[in-house]
């Protein structure tokens, strides 16, 4: 039952989740984009960036899934 609820929320909010994911990639993973700007970086920093992004993206993903859009849905009993 909980998985169907989660699937329903993902279907409703897939666009918002996609936007959040793109922003996280651009902001938290700048390392692959640094060569485009001719900037150097330390290759070991990639692992640290991935760990930080994984930890930080959990609450924001849950927020994007479960936030109220302002409309109250009527529950059927």
pLDDT in tens, 26-65: 776 677 677 777 877 777 877 887 788 788 888 888 887 7
Domain ranges of the chain: 39-66
Query: Mind spelling out the 3-state secondary structure of the chain?
Result: CHHHHHHHHHHHCHHHHHHHHHHHHHHHCCHHHHHHHCCCCCCCHHHHHHHHHHHHHHHHHHHHHHCCCCCCCCCCC
- What pLDDT is attached to residue 28? 66
- What pLDDT is attached to residue 1? 58
- What pLDDT is attached to residue 68? 67
């Amino acid at each position: 039952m909980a998985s169907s609820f989660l699937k329903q929320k993902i279907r409703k909010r897939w666009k918002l989740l996609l936007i959040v994911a793109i922003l996280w990639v651009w902001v938290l993973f700048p390392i692959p984009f640094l060569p485009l700007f001719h900037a150097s970086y330390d290759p070991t920093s990639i692992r640290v960036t991935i760990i930080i992004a994984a930890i930080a993206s959990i609450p924001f993903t849950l927020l994007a899934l479960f936030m109220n859009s302002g409309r109250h849905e009527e529950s059927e009993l």
